[in-house]
Structure 1
Amino acid sequence: MPETNDSPTESGLDAQTQRKVVRERYATIAAEKAEEAGGCCSSDDSCCSPAETAAPTDETARQLGYSESELESVDGNANLGLGCGNPQAIASLTTGESVLDLGSGAGFDCFLAAQEVGEAGRVIGVDMTPEMVEKARVNASQNDAENVEFRLGEIEHLPVSDERIDVIISNCVVNLSPDKPQVFDEAFRVLRPGGRLAISDVVLTAAVPHDVRADPDSVASCVAGASTIDRLETILTDTGFEAVNISPKDESDEFIRDWDDDYDVSEFLVSATITARKPEVADG
């Protein structure tokens, strides 16, 4: 059942509050990046990146697994230095496929996906923050990305028709949702039979400290809203996905431990790749 506005989530916040703090955080990031025009992450508002010692965006992206050629292939200010991995590395995109990016931000992963699927393919980015969608559309113009479009919407309520997508990608965004079963229900709905998920996100390896779990800043910065691997596997399987695989990336502690200045986030959080497939033929 979808979360109600006052129901508890993995974090210590109710769903309405969680959506509000996440939207405000990313609106701030979009505005600051517009002012910086490609500068470093803000020490106060970067998500999924070091707190007070934030590295330049390209350096952060290299830590997350992006290659030099990928970094050089996207113009403008699409790379915000956010995320916890590189979904392109697990998506195995091919020419002509349709791709949906959940929480597309300024569009960096969308533009990389567009290069893989070519002119015959199509990429849709969905983000709930108007400032991010506006920024991504400007970046699309700078990159001459005619096969990419950005839509305003929540990943729990995707503005996409049924069975239109071949591959869903996402980079450290599902953990921000207060209703993860609804996210994957929507993903299942919009995927074509045989379509697949290729997601980078964070998962819990231990209990989140109580004061962190209830902290709005920790929730909005990809720390306190994550699920365990077992819970995500159950959600995906119950939704109808098959070939579910969630693989922690042990080396991610090298950058995750720097996400907060007051505690070591890697003690209870790790980056992971999440893959799954919608069956070719639905049961029944």
Structure 2
Amino acid sequence: MSEMEDSSAESGLDAQTQRKVVRERYATIATEDGEEDDRCCSRERSRCSPAETTLPTDETARQLGYSDTELESVEGDANLGLGCGNPQAIASLNAGERVLDLGSGAGFDCFLAAQEVGETGSVVGVDMTPEMVEKARANAGRNEADTVEFRLGEIEHLPVSDDSIDVIISNCVVNLSPDKPQVFDEAFRVLRPAGRLAISDVVLTAEVPSGVRADPDSVASCVAGASTIDRLETILTDAGFESVNISPKDDSDEFIRDWDDDYDVSEFLVSAAITARKPVVADE
């Protein structure tokens, strides 16, 4: 493992504190009812969650790769303008598939996935924030999403049965976990043989600035908890996945650089598409 991975592949917070600050941040986002241009907690706070900028949420989503058709197809306030990509674009979902969304938030990606898998498929969203699960369930009603359900739980301990999922998606959530190997071990457990992983997340390209790794705001805003590509490849391979591919998104600096007012986050972070597959016969 390289010196950069040793020093900054994970956040500088202990696991309990990291989960606490992440849960509190997204509980606040789920319950706030301010205007869109005040979504960054307050104008005085510099650190914003991904896409939690002064841009309207639809415009932010377009930057992340969502089409106008996708944005117009979901009712309610499921689109919170959060994320670092569009997992739908890399998941290649098919009718009848069962999809799991890690860190499903208010449900936006779940509802888009449900449109792709149709009435014969189904979608499960898992989120550790009760306020987000409540919001997502309300949005499910607005969208008449009968094939979508939301469960409260941590992505390190999924409330999902073994070998029951065809595709796992996620949007800029795994970096928030203090135990990424456990996340991918769980992903491997719940996927059916030949099931696939298709997530958008951020990866480290350089050292995180001094003092940022242990800063709660930076960790909770997807800035300080990311891993390098090499480390993620190792974690995924160790979990049992094959065909691992991590592809940085060349133009992600256009929105990542705005995630903080104090420094250019794109100097050490990039959005990436992360895909992998569970072998047809898992290694013993």
Partner residue, 2:5: none
Amino acid at match of 2:187: A
Instruction: Tell whether 2:114 aligns with 1:110.
Output: no
Once the two structures are superposed, the pairs formed by residues 159-174 of structure 1 within 5 Å of their partners are: 159-174=159-174
Once the two structures are superposed, the pairs formed by residues 227-266 of structure 1 within 5 Å of their partners are: 227-266=227-266
The SS at the match of 2:74 is coil
Once the two structures are superposed, the pairs formed by residues 88-99 of structure 1 within 5 Å of their partners are: 88-99=88-99
Partner residue, 1:42: 39
Partner residue, 1:24: 24
Once the two structures are superposed, the pairs formed by residues 90-169 of structure 1 within 5 Å of their partners are: 90-169=90-169
Deviations 1:19-72 (A, max 9, x none): 00000000000011xx24x83461227511254xx2000000000000010000
Amino acid at match of 1:215: D
State the distance in 2 between where 1:114 and 1:228 align: 32
State the distance in 2 between where 1:79 and 1:109 align: 8
Distance 1:74 1:40, change over 3 A: farther
- CA shift for structure 1 position 78: 0.2
Work out whether residues 107 and 139 of structure 2, in 8 Å CA contact, stay in contact via their aligned partners in 1: yes
State the distance in 2 between where 1:50 and 1:142 align: 24
Gaps of 5+ in 1: 1-7
Deviations 1:143-184 (A, max 9, x none): 000000000000000000000000000000000000000000
State the distance in 1 between where 2:212 and 2:163 align: 38
Instruction: Tell whether 2:198 aligns with 1:201.
Output: no
The SS at the match of 2:195 is strand
- CA shift for structure 1 position 282: 1.6
Amino acid at match of 2:39: S
State the distance in 2 between where 1:195 and 1:11 align: 30
Work out whether residues 65 and 86 of structure 1, in 8 Å CA contact, stay in contact via their aligned partners in 2: yes
Partner residue, 2:187: 187
Gaps of 5+ in 2: 1-7, 43-47
Amino acid at match of 1:105: G
Amino acid at match of 1:198: A
Partner residue, 1:220: 220
Amino acid at match of 1:39: E
The SS at the match of 1:283 is coil
Work out whether residues 102 and 155 of structure 1, in 8 Å CA contact, stay in contact via their aligned partners in 2: yes
State the distance in 1 between where 2:80 and 2:222 align: 15
Partner residue, 1:275: 275
State the distance in 2 between where 1:217 and 1:50 align: 13
State the distance in 1 between where 2:77 and 2:30 align: 10
TM-score scaled by length of structure 2: 0.93
Work out whether residues 9 and 179 of structure 1, in 8 Å CA contact, stay in contact via their aligned partners in 2: no
State the distance in 2 between where 1:225 and 1:14 align: 11
State the distance in 2 between where 1:49 and 1:216 align: 18
The SS at the match of 2:245 is strand
Query: Identity over aligned residues, as a percent?
Result: 82
- CA shift for structure 1 position 108: 0.0
Q: What is the aligned-residue RMSD (CA, Å)?
A: 1.3
After TM superposition, which residue ranges in structure 1, 4 or more long, deviate above 3 angstroms? 38-41
State the distance in 2 between where 1:222 and 1:276 align: 22
Number of equivalenced pairs: 272
State the distance in 2 between where 1:9 and 1:26 align: 23
State the distance in 2 between where 1:191 and 1:184 align: 10
